[in-house]
Amino acid sequence: MTEQPLSLRNLTKKFGGKIAVDDVSFDVKPGEIIGFLGPNGAGKTTTIRMALGLIKQDKGEVSLFGGDPGPRTFGRIAFLPEERGLYKKQTARETIAHMARLNGMKARDAFPLADRLLDKYGLGEAKRKKNKDMSKGMAQKVQLLAAIAHDPEFYVLDEPFSGLDPVNQQVLENMVREIAERGRTIIFSTHVMEHAERLCDRIILMSCGRVVFDGSIEDALAKAPRRLVIQSDDKKINTILEPFATSIEERSDGALTVFLKPEKEAFAIVEKCVKAKIRLTRFEPKNPSLHEAFVTMVGEDEAAKMHAGVFA
């Protein structure tokens, strides 16, 4: 249990001469919940595939539970790939039990477990329903349950929230929390920032095949420009603000958005205004968002892809 689940060193992969993953290195420590973020084509899925030994890297090293990925680690990992699908003619319980058995569980345990999981996650009535007769959301939940039924040490979930409605996204979020409470290690990719903010201890951001950020949410947010919304009828306010701001934008309601310089603090503006006897009608420091942090780190174009929710 104390073995490091994953360690990637200088991973590089090219497809047809084009670099998909470029010199990627990071570690996943036991018990961590990691959000793996990045826009379409950033190289997340390729990195995950290499991490699990599904495809060979051109350069670099992968250490999964202290060794090469492969049969040694079977049963210790739950992998939900980005591309979803099920055997159409299998029933939900057969699908879950089949994967659980492939992961080492005995048939006499696998089928009752499948029934319990289906009951627990609101699919009790669909137990004996064939996968082809299920809605997309139901089928997606069945596949997720099939991937995680054997309750391994390390969960690798590629875009688990994509395609789920808000209610099921919440169910999945709760599921991830439950898994984390059992001390399991989780890495999941997502384009929904709120999920990452709510669930993760740490985020890894990829862009153009490279890791552009690896750290805590707080560290990521620190990368975002701090801003505040300020309003006053006094025209001198701009003169007061200029030394504090990297930029000032006028809003449609007449207020100003001030992007603070890194070394400046918002309360200092208030002090200056008091001294200058400028009456403020509005003063709202804004918390930075992850999206703003990403825009800072990867640029507007790459961030726009994420914002559109188009992910690889």
Instruction: Work out whether 101 is an interface residue with another protein (CB under 8 A).
Output: yes
**Binding pattern for the stretch 248-287 against another protein, x by CB under 8 A and - elsewhere:** ----------------------------------------
Which range, of 84-92, 162-170, 183-191, 193-201, touches another protein by CB under 8 A?
84-92
- Whole-number minimum distance, CB 76 to another protein, in Å? 10
Instruction: Work out whether 71 is an interface residue with another protein (CB under 8 A).
Output: yes
Q: Write the burial class of residue 235 (CB in 10 Å: 0-12 exposed, 13-18 middle, 19+ buried).
A: exposed
**CA 69, CA 28: separation in Å to the nearest integer?**
14
**CA 268, CA 222: separation in Å to the nearest integer?**
19
- Whole-number minimum distance, CB 75 to another protein, in Å? 7
- Whole-number minimum distance, CB 73 to another protein, in Å? 9
Taking Cα atoms as reference points, which of 59, 75, 63 lies closest to residue 20? 59
CA distances to 186, 212, 226, 248 from 296, rounded to whole Å, are 26, 11, 11, 17
Instruction: Work out whether 137 is an interface residue with another protein (CB under 8 A).
Output: no
**CA 242, CA 272: separation in Å to the nearest integer?**
12
Instruction: Work out whether 89 is an interface residue with another protein (CB under 8 A).
Output: yes
Instruction: Work out whether 72 is an interface residue with another protein (CB under 8 A).
Output: no
**CA 238, CA 138: separation in Å to the nearest integer?**
55
Which residue, 101 or 286, has its beta carbon nearer to another protein? 101
Interacting residue with another protein among 85, 163, 215, 299 (CB under 8 A): 85
Looking only at residues 32 through 51 of this chain, which bind another protein when binding is defined by CB under 8 A?
49
Instruction: Work out whether 81 is an interface residue with another protein (CB under 8 A).
Output: yes
Instruction: Work out whether 80 is an interface residue with another protein (CB under 8 A).
Output: yes
Q: What is the DSSP string of 101-167?
A: HHTT--HHHHHHHHHHHHHHTT-GGGTTSBGGGS-HHHHHHHHHHHHHTT--SEEEEESTTTT--HH
Residues near another protein (CB under 8 A) are 15, 49, 52, 54-55, 70-71, 74-75, 77, 79-81, 83-90, 98-99, 101-103, 143, 146-147, 156
